[in-house]
Structure 1
Amino acid sequence: MSMVLFVCTGNTCRSPMAEALFMHRKGDLDWEAQSAGVYAAPGAPASRNAIEALRELEVDLSGHRSQPLTADLVEQASLIATMTEGHRNHILHCFPEVENRVFLINAFGTSKVAADISDPFGGSLSTYKRIRDEIDRALSDLILFLRAQNNRQR
């Protein structure tokens, strides 16, 4: 089974929201998701506002525990979606061999917006909801991209 790895900084806000929303929205797409942070401490819960922002969409993030980005996770990932160009550059610096699998999360839409998803850490619930919605829009494009890839391989 294929796996998409969502990467941010601390793995308590953006990438856990992306992972949970992807799993909630993917339907019958035969992909799994994980998330990690380039500077994450292991075992931290998702931020309170990330949990609240997803609860509004009936997605439960309360069981999330952060994990740092590791060589094993990078190796397992069929596709790595980063929240910022800085995260992408960090991965390419550490793992140059995966260049063909690392993309900015916003790179899959028809607009090909090369925009970073800003870090809501420490922000208000409304900031987290805005970031959640940005991630959700990007995921719609990512899921369409993955479905198209699957159809081409058949």
Structure 2
Amino acid sequence: MHKLLTVCLGNYCRSPFAALALTCRGGTEVSVRSAGLIGKWQDQPANPSMVNAARRLGHDLTGHRGQQITLHMLDWADTVLAMDTAVLGTLQAICGEANAVKLRLYLGDRDVSDPIGKDDAAFNDCAVLIEAGTALHISP
């Protein structure tokens, strides 16, 4: 079983949905967790606009509760997927050499823009992009 960890700034929008989408696509072949660099939304549900965007795509994000990344999570993962280059840079600075080889951008060569502070259309676009990105990590 391949273990994936998705990481964004707050574990409030992008990484929770990415973890859910990867889990749905990968089924029993993967184990997926998500986390944020900051603990602002620790133990809080996902952003309501992302919950709605997930629902439009047939996913239920209501069970998510935010968590801040730990070194234990980095050690656990086979692959750590950062949602943007800023998150990737922070992960590179904190993770140590043993975990550095696990780090990648979720979309390979571009960022998944943070929809916080934007309208519902931005959340919908973000969710569609994240769901399409699952194909980069899990074969059909």
| Identity percentage of aligned residues | 28
Alignment pair present for 1:142 and 2:137? yes
Alignment pair present for 1:100 and 2:101? yes
* Long gaps (5+) in structure 2: none
Write the distance in 1 (CA, Å) between the matches of 2:86 and 2:14. Answer: 14
Q: Secondary structure at the match of 2:107?
A: helix
| Shift in Å, 1:40 | 2.8
| Shift in Å, 1:135 | 0.9
TM-score, structure 1 normalization: 0.85
Q: Secondary structure at the match of 1:5?
A: strand
* Long gaps (5+) in structure 1: 108-113, 148-154
TM-score, structure 2 normalization: 0.93
Partner of 1:12: 12
Counterpart AA for 1:59: H
| Shift in Å, 1:134 | 1.1
Alignment pair present for 1:26 and 2:32? no
Q: Note the aligned Cα RMSD (angstroms).
A: 1.3
Greater percentage in helix: 1
Write the distance in 1 (CA, Å) between the matches of 2:103 and 2:24. Answer: 22
Larger Cα-atom Rg: 1
Higher RCO, 1 or 2 (CA under 8 Å, sep at least 6)? Answer: 2
Partner of 1:63: 63
